[in-house]
């Protein structure tokens, strides 16, 4: 498939993502990748010595296997479909492009937290936010729940929307699938705890490398999106420049900083993870208290960023190669 075709497939796939999101009834490649990771962990750990070097080797083998199978099977499926019909191959490319993006599903899942905050109980909201964040949520108040949700929308705007769009535009569904395989491994095993400190290190480091450019691009685009969405674009750029490194991860704070500046709120700070307090710097200025309505504001900022990214990495190149 030539670049024009996969860019056109991406253009249509992005529209499907905005319309449909991620219906639970539909088979999804990311869930398959997650199952593959879970099923490979135990046999790979058993195959290598139970030592730091052995766990590093097992984790590296996991990365090679999952990325190879994900990208390779995607290539194989598209090739086989192409043998039957170029239209079938194109249609599969559209569906895969759609399924590798997460704009509407990110909005829908975070909106469940807003609904729980405004119409349910605090326990309902804690449960809803526990489905989308990694921190401990049992003792979060309404402000903490809202902040966690806005941070999640901002951070996932990068690795759930901007980065997949970029990799899909560069190499079609196979490259997009390989990226999402690494990203999914990082979300499942890339923790600095006793279980995954060594086993998940390769996945975490590779995810950092792959997201280095997309995260910074996403931060800039979110600042630009702030103007499009009617927020404080000037403040978004100021906080982005100042606070984009206020995180242990080299990539996580770029969109959080842009979002905090755009909405004129303060994000991040210390939180509990797996029962342990993790001290982290804040991001943004405490100009006003965060409120549940900021979840909806983060959605507007997410969509503005997504559409702007789509126009730059997909529509503009498509116009050039048509």
pLDDT digits (tens, 9 = 90+) for 174-216: 999 999 999 999 999 988 888 999 999 999 999 999 999 999 9
Which residue range(s) make up the domain with 304? 3-321
Mean pLDDT to the nearest integer, 155-169: 96
The token duo for 95 is 């569906």
Give the sign of the dihedral formed by CA 307, CA 312, CA 313, CA 314.
positive
Residues 6+ apart with CB under 8 A from 282: 243, 246, 266, 267, 268, 269
- pLDDT of 319 strictly over 80: no
CA atoms within 13 A on the CB side of 172: 21
18-77 tens-digit pLDDT: 999 888 777 889 999 999 999 999 999 999 999 999 999 999 999 999 999 999 999 999
Percentage of residues in the chain having pLDDT higher than 70:
97
Residue 137's pLDDT is what? 79
Confidence of residue 230 (pLDDT cuts 50, 70, 90): very high
Task: Please choose, from the candidates 256, 304, 241, 281, the residue with its C-alpha nearest in 3D space to the C-alpha of residue 151.
Answer: 256
How many Å apart are CA 140 and CA 161, to the nearest integer? Answer: 27
Per-residue confidence (pLDDT) for residue 308, from 0 to 100: 96
| pLDDT(275) > 70 | no
pLDDT at 5: 87
The confidence score (pLDDT) of residue 231 equals 97
User: Structural domain tally of the chain?
Assistant: 1
For residue 140, pLDDT over 70 is answered with yes
SS3 category, 272: strand
Place of tokens 């899909």: 168
Looking at per-residue confidence, does 2 or 104 come out higher?
104
pLDDT-derived band at 148 (thresholds 50, 70, 90) equals very high
Q: What is the mean pLDDT of residues 246-275?
A: 87
pLDDT at position 274:
65
The residue-averaged pLDDT of 121-140 equals: 87
- Confidence (pTM): 0.93
Q: Torsions phi, psi of 136, nearest 5? A: -70, 135
């Amino acid at each position: 498939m030539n670049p024009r075709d996969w860019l056109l497939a991406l253009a249509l796939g992005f529209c499907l993502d905005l319309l449909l999101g991620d219906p639970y009834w539909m088979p999804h490649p990311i869930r398959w990748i997650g199952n593959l990771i879970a099923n490979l962990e135990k046999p790979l750990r058993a195959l290598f010595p139970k030592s730091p070097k052995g766990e590093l080797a097992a984790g590296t083998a996991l990365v090679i296997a999952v990325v190879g199978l994900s990208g390779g099977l995607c290539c194989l499926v598209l090739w086989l479909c192409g043998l039957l019909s170029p239209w079938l191959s194109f249609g599969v490319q559209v569906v895969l492009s759609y399924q590798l993006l997460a704009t509407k599903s990110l909005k829908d899942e975070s909106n469940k937290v807003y609904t729980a905050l405004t119409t349910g109980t605090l326990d309902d909201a804690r449960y809803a936010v526990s489905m989308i964040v990694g921190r401990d949520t049992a003792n979060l108040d309404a402000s903490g729940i809202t902040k966690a949700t806005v941070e999640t929308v901002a951070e996932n705007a990068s690795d759930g929307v901007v980065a997949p769009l970029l990799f899909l535009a560069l190499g079609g569904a196979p490259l997009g699938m390989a990226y999402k395989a690494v990203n999914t491994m990082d979300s499942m095993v890339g923790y600095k705890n006793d279980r995954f400190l060594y086993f998940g290190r390769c996945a975490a480091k590779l995810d950092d490398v792959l997201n280095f450019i997309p995260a910074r691009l996403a931060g800039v685009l979110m600042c630009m999106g702030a103007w499009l969405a009617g927020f404080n674009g000037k403040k978004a750029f100021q906080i982005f420049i100042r606070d984009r490194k206020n995180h242990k991860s080299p990539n996580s704070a770029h969109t959080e900083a842009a979002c905090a500046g755009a909405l004129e709120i303060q994000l991040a700070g210390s939180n509990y993870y797996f029962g342990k307090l993790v001290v982290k710097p804040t991001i943004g200025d405490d100009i006003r208290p965060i409120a549940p309505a900021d979840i909806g504001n983060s959605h507007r900022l997410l969509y503005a960023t997504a559409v702007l990214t789509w126009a730059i990495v997909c529509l503009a190149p498509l116009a050039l190669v048509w």
